[in-house]
A and B are shown apart, each in its own frame.
Chain A
Amino acid sequence: MTAATLDHGPSRDNGLDLKAGGRWTAVHARTLEPLIDAASHAGKQGQGEVRRVVFDASQVEQLDTYGAWLIERTLRIWKSRGAETELVGLQASYRNLFEKVRSGQQKLTPLKHKQTGLVATFESVGRTMVAVTTDLATIFQIAGQLVVAFLSVCAHPRRFRITSMVNHLERVCWHAVPIILLITFLIGAIIAQQGIFHFRTFGADIYVVDMVGVLVLRELGVLIVCIMIAGRSGSAYTAELGSMKMREEVDALRTMGFDPVEVLVLPRILALMIAVPILTFLGSMAALYGGGLVAWLYGGIDPKIFMSRLHESINGQTFAVGMIKAPFMALIIGLVACMEGMQVKGSAESLGAKTTDSVVKSIFLVIVIDGLFAVFFASVGI
Chain B
Amino acid sequence: MPIRSEDAVIKVRDLVVDFAGRKVLNGVNLDLKRGEILGFVGASGAGKSVLTRTIIGLLPMQQGSIEVLGVELSKASQSERQAVDRRWGVLFQQGALFSSLTSGKNVEFPIREYLRLSPKLTTEIAISKLEMVGLKPDVYRNYPSELSGGMIKRVALARALALDPEILFLDEPTSGLDPISAAEFDHLLLTLQETLGISVFMVTHDLDSLHRTCDRIAVLSEGKIVEAGNMDVMLASQHPWLKEYFHGERAHTDFQVAIKGRRVTEKRA
List the interface of chain A (C-beta within 8 A of B): 25-27, 29-30, 33, 64-66, 69, 73, 91-94, 96-97, 100-101, 103-109, 345-350
Q: Which residues of B contact A103 (CB under 8 A)?
A: 131
Chain A binding surface SS class: helix
Q: Which residues of B contact A33 (CB under 8 A)?
A: 117-118, 121
Alpha-carbon gap, A350 to B164, bound state (A):
32
| Residues from 129 to 150 in B contacting A, C-beta threshold 8 Å | 129, 131-132, 137-138, 140-141, 143-146
Q: Which residues of A contact B1 (CB under 8 A)?
A: 91-94
A108 touches B195 (CB 8 A): no
CB-CB under 8 A for A100 and B191, given A65-B128, A347-B144:
yes
Alpha-carbon gap, A348 to B98, bound state (A):
8
Alpha-carbon gap, A108 to B138, bound state (A):
6
| Residues from 143 to 182 in B contacting A, C-beta threshold 8 Å | 143-146, 161, 163-164
Alpha-carbon gap, A104 to B141, bound state (A):
17
| Nearest CB of B to A293, in Å | 48
From the candidates B2, B99, B121, B196, name the one contacting A349 in the complex (CB within 8 A). Answer: B99
Q: Does B234 contact A (CB under 8 A)?
A: no
Q: Which residues of A contact B194 (CB under 8 A)?
A: 96
**Nearest residue, chain A, Cβ from B104:** A108
**Nearest residue, chain B, Cβ from A108:** B137
A64 touches B164 (CB 8 A): yes
| Residues from 72 to 121 in B contacting A, C-beta threshold 8 Å | 98-100, 115-118, 121
B117 touches A109 (CB 8 A): no
Alpha-carbon gap, A72 to B201, bound state (A):
30
Alpha-carbon gap, A33 to B120, bound state (A):
10
**Nearest residue, chain B, Cβ from A73:** B124
From the candidates B121, B125, B191, name the one contacting A65 in the complex (CB within 8 A). Answer: B125
Alpha-carbon gap, A109 to B163, bound state (A):
26
B143 touches A347 (CB 8 A): yes
24 A–B contacts from the bound complex (CB under 8 Å):
A29-B125, A65-B125, A65-B129, A66-B125, A66-B164, A69-B128, A73-B121, A91-B1, A93-B1, A94-B1, A96-B194, A100-B195, A101-B128, A103-B131, A104-B127, A104-B137, A107-B137, A108-B127, A108-B140, A346-B99, A346-B143, A347-B143, A348-B100, A349-B100
List the interface of chain B (C-beta within 8 A of A): 1-2, 98-100, 115-118, 121, 124-125, 127-129, 131-132, 137-138, 140-141, 143-146, 161, 163-164, 191, 194-196
A65 touches B124 (CB 8 A): no
A65 touches B138 (CB 8 A): no
From the candidates B117, B128, B143, B163, name the one contacting A30 in the complex (CB within 8 A). Answer: B117
CB-CB under 8 A for A64 and B196, given A105-B137, A108-B138:
yes
A65 touches B164 (CB 8 A): yes
Alpha-carbon gap, A66 to B122, bound state (A):
10
Q: Which residues of A contact B132 (CB under 8 A)?
A: 65, 100-101, 104
Q: Which residues of B contact A101 (CB under 8 A)?
A: 128, 132
B115 touches A27 (CB 8 A): yes
Q: Which residues of A contact B140 (CB under 8 A)?
A: 108
| Nearest CB of B to A28, in Å | 10
B121 touches A104 (CB 8 A): no
